[in-house]
């Protein structure tokens, strides 16, 4: 799985060359859009939305990605939220994510920028 990320100022598309995968994105204030992307299909992730893709087959999948700019700028959500320096206050994250503070502390301890 590619981590959830955001390309703030560009549109992104993928074409599946081998295998199949799920592709999805989350518009503001709406439910997640998820579609099965088969070999030969093209899927477009709208500009600025958090999106992901996941290989759902038993074998490797190959997808060719295209961006509408040579320098799109990518924001990986988990790295930004859990790997910020200084760290976002864990009480704030616990309330925002509706999880126990211990979960946030654990996630913040995982060195997000180097390992994910």
Structural domain total, the chain: 2
pLDDT computed for residue 45 by the predictor: 86
**Contact by Cβ (8 Å): 62, 18:** yes
Q: Are residue 61 and residue 86 in the same domain, yes or no?
A: no
Using a 10 angstrom Cβ sphere, with 0-12 exposed, 13-18 middle and 19 or more buried, the burial of residue 31 is exposed
Predicted local distance difference test score (pLDDT) of residue 28: 78
Do residue 55 and residue 17 come from a single domain? yes
Query: For position 35, what pLDDT does the model report?
Result: 93
Binding region for Mn(2+): 51
Between 3 and 107, residue with greater pLDDT? 107
For residues 87 and 67, membership in a common domain is answered with no
Residues that constitute the known binding site: 51
C-beta separation of 42 from 71 below 8 A? no
CATH number at residue 28: 2.60.120.10
pLDDT (tens digit, 9 = 90+) per residue, 12-70?
888 999 999 998 888 777 788 889 999 999 999 888 788 888 899 899 999 998 877 76
Q: Are 1 and 54 in contact (CB under 8 A)?
A: yes
Query: Does 65 lie in the same domain as 111?
Result: no
Q: Residue 22 belongs to what domain range?
A: 5-73
Same domain, 69 and 86: no
Q: Give how far the C-alpha of residue 50 lies from the chain's centroid of Cα atoms, to the nearest Å.
A: 6
The single residue listed with the structure tokens 């790295």 is 79
Of 1-5, 6-10, 87-91, the poorest mean pLDDT is in: 1-5
- 31 and 88 both lie in a single domain: no
Three-state SS at 106: helix
* Residue 15, pLDDT score: 92
């Amino acid at each position: 799985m590619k981590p959830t990320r955001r390309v703030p100022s560009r549109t992104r598309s993928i074409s599946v060359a081998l295998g199949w995968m799920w592709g999805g994105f989350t518009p503001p204030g709406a439910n997640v859009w998820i579609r099965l992307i088969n070999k030969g299909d093209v899927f477009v992730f709208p500009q600025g939305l958090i999106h992901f893709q996941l290989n759902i087959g038993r074998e490797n999948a190959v997808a060719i990605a295209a961006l509408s700019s040579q320098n799109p700028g990518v924001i990986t959500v988990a790295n930004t939220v859990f790997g910020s320096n200084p760290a976002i206050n864990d009480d704030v994250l616990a309330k925002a994510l509706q999880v126990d503070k211990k979960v946030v502390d654990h996630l913040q301890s995982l060195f997000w920028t180097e390992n994910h």
